[in-house]
Amino acid sequence: MNASSTVEEKFDVLVRRQQFLNQDGKQAIKEILRTKKKAKIFWGTAPTGKPHIGYLVPLAKIVDFLRAGLDVTVLYADIYSFLINYLHPQPRELVEHRRRYYHLLVTAILQSLGVQTSRIHFVQESSYAYTKSFVSDFSRCCSLMTQQDTPDTMDEEGRTKTLSPLLCCVHQYLADIHLDTDIQFGGEDQRPIFQHASKIIPQLGYRKRQYLMNAMAPGLKGGKMSSSDPASAKIEFLDDARTVTDKIMEIPIGESHGGYSTDNAVLGILRTILIPLSELRLEHHKDEFANDAFVSADAPEGTLFTIEVAIWCFGECVRKHYKSYDEIEEDFRCWRMGEEDLKLAVARSLNCVLEPVRRRLGSSEEWKELELLAYP
């Protein structure tokens, strides 16, 4: 992808694996690419619990945004984190420690994906949320919303009786405007809030924004992987290689219709995290990436994933090379591959992805200090 790439080429890279709010969104995003020299996109994260490997999904997607020539902002929603109020009773200092913790980690992940982080704007919500124009929009937005809008749009906030979480979605709507971006990018779980934002923003008198949504990494015990989950239901970047392998090996694999079920977190991690990363590696920056992460040295060109499959009747293993996720799922579902074979391959690949991140952070004094401050 380069300066001479067509709008269609950029569009294809920008939106692959993404969902839209509706068909109009597709057209609108093409129009943005056609008319703007450098469209602006942002991804926001609230510094709350320790980040898990689900963050690899949006962060890998940022590589695509940069390739498509977009101006990319990572937003640390620090005021949002305070309002969501997990952090009482010493919240503001803690939020700031966690914001710094997230930043070190996000930076290390992006670097391990071959991203020059100098190309990205890192912004804190608190850098614009104390302006008169923000506060004024905040009041206006609240006057256009019902008290039920927040519980309707956000799971977490439907479970609390505290007042402040009701205000979180207002902060999310206004990020579009006060970062002055064209596209907001988040997970599928954000669909209701993006839908509401796309209704509210024109009522506030601003131009419509567009929304892209990635698939969610699965939690080890079902649902999406979430920072609020207990450590046993998620894989954290901090987990050492052995812990990662143990967690993967313990994921329950169901059976259905005379084969393995495909509804499990092992395949989910493969589909949402590992295969997209392997595609990136193939297309884009093979050399900067851990080469043996996904594919063995003897694999043919175009291989996305290699799995050592035990052939029991012969008492030996064969190496199988796959060019797509679907081929793996098919082999697995039809018992042409053992549960342990798949799990070991996924655990090994995931560890290869996490290793450079752990290495970068392990040598950082700031990181060690922040681990104690942010998660005492």
DSSP of 168-203: HHHHHHHHHHHTT-SEEEEEGGGHHHHHHHHHHHHH
Tell me the closest approach of the beta carbon of residue 142 to a second copy, in angstroms: 4
Q: How many residues bind a second copy (CB under 8 A)?
A: 30
Q: Is residue 132 near a second copy by the rule CB under 8 A?
A: yes
Among 6, 27, 162, 324, binds a second copy (CB under 8 A): 162
Q: Is residue 129 near a second copy by the rule CB under 8 A?
A: yes
Question: Chain centroid to CA 30: how far?
Answer: 23
Burial of 180 (0-12, 13-18, 19+ CB in 10 A): exposed
Q: Is residue 167 near a second copy by the rule CB under 8 A?
A: yes
The secondary structure of residue 236, as a DSSP letter, is B
Find out whether 280 and 63 touch, Cβ atoms under 8 Å.
yes
> Roughly how many angstroms between the first and final C-alpha of the chain, as a whole number?
45
Q: Is residue 142 near a second copy by the rule CB under 8 A?
A: yes
Bridge partners (DSSP) of residue 75 are: 44, 123
Among 90, 116, 146, 363, binds a second copy (CB under 8 A): 146
Structure tokens at 327: 């081929």
Burial of 193 (0-12, 13-18, 19+ CB in 10 A): buried
Cα–Cα distance, 261 to 334 (Å, whole number): 9
Tell me the closest approach of the beta carbon of residue 121 to a second copy, in angstroms: 22
Binding mask 54-93 for a second copy (x = CB under 8 A): -------------------------x--xx-x--x--xx-
What's the number of CA atoms in the CB half-sphere (13 Å) around residue 285? 15
Given the rule CB under 8 A, which of 10-18, 162-170, 292-300, 357-365 is the region that contacts a second copy?
A: 162-170
* Pick 116 or 147: Cβ nearer a second copy: 147
The footprint of a second copy on residues 4-43 (CB under 8 A) is none
Bridge partners (DSSP) of residue 72 are: 41, 120
Q: Is residue 123 near a second copy by the rule CB under 8 A?
A: no
Strands 210-214, 71-76: pairing is unpaired
* Pick 118 or 146: Cβ nearer a second copy: 146
Given the rule CB under 8 A, which of 27-35, 50-58, 100-108, 124-132 is the region that contacts a second copy?
A: 124-132
Q: Is residue 135 near a second copy by the rule CB under 8 A?
A: yes
Q: What is the contact surface with a second copy in residues (CB under 8 A)?
A: 79, 82-83, 85, 88, 91-92, 129-132, 135-136, 139-140, 142-143, 145-150, 161-164, 166-167, 170
